[in-house]
Amino acid sequence: MVVPAGANAQTAADPDALYRQRDETGRADEAAEIWAARSARRADFDSSWKLARACYWIGTQGPDAGRRAALERGVSAGMQAAKIAPDRPEGHFWLAANMGALAESFGAMQGLKYRGRIKDALERVLAIDPAWQQGSADRALGWWYHRVPRLFGGSESSAETHLRKALTYNQASTATLYFLGEVLLGRDKRTEARAVLQRVIDAPLDPDWMPEDRDFKKKAAARLATLPPSP
């Protein structure tokens, strides 16, 4: 493919273009640094929430050594975005996402530290716009109810309810379907879980979420491979 003159320089100056290539090594980091510089200069809402989103990607998909620092940076960026525009969903959601990744990946103390704040932030998104980003708040709350122990507010029935609500906004969401499949397995609804996980594999790729879709398709295939054949 012939690359037009100046295209590389244009991409380098455009963090949105860089982030669209986030599955290529270093691209999300480059985008994050541009958004960080912009948000530091003028406390810009878009730069702040996009930095939080990029940090979530880096903190969950990047090299292991830098993941915790990226997620902690994402928490700070999400907090800034939520403070600048408290009636917009983006800051609250990506704040919750970064806190959730810290809670899942870095031990019980992180879970205790962020458990309540994650739920509060996601419920704030629901109050602002439940349909935002294809029902992302319901999807994340469903996973929250699944992952949090019952003693601290977890509930498999609430997890399933939130995930099914999220599906009403996008029946082909690989993330929602994968999480629902895991919840159904936890509830011993194995036949339905297999069907839902197969829907992850069969779902079309969303142009805006192709790297994530590919990741969930791999996870679904691996999960299905661990299940015994249907009777």
Indicate if 13 and 123 belong to the same structural domain.
yes
CATH number of the structural domain spanning residue 194: 1.25.40
Which segments of the chain does DSSP mark as H helices, in order? 7-13, 15-20, 27-42, 45-61, 64-84, 89-105, 108-128, 132-147, 156-167, 174-186, 190-202, 210-226
Indicate if 114 and 30 belong to the same structural domain.
yes
Please report, in angstroms and rounded to a whole number, the separation of the first and last CA atoms in the chain: 50
C-alpha to C-alpha distance for 29 and 31, rounded to whole angstroms: 5
Indicate if 90 and 183 belong to the same structural domain.
no
C-alpha to C-alpha distance for 91 and 82, rounded to whole angstroms: 4
pTM over cut 0.75 = yes
Phi, psi of 77, rounded to the nearest 5 degrees? -65, -40
Indicate if 135 and 214 belong to the same structural domain.
yes
- End of a domain among 78, 111, 129? 129
pLDDT in tens, the chain (231 residues): 333 444 444 455 899 999 999 999 999 999 999 999 999 988 899 999 999 999 999 999 999 999 999 999 999 999 999 999 999 999 999 999 999 999 998 876 666 788 899 999 999 999 999 999 999 999 999 999 999 988 889 999 999 999 999 999 999 999 999 999 999 999 999 999 999 999 999 999 999 999 999 999 999 999 999 998 766
Virtual torsion, Cα 209, 165, 162, 206, nearest 10 deg: -10
Domain holding 21, by residue range, is 1-129
Q: How many structural domains does the chain have?
A: 2
Q: Which residue has the tokens 């969401």?
A: 173
CATH number of the structural domain spanning residue 106: 1.25.40.10
Indicate if 21 and 113 belong to the same structural domain.
yes
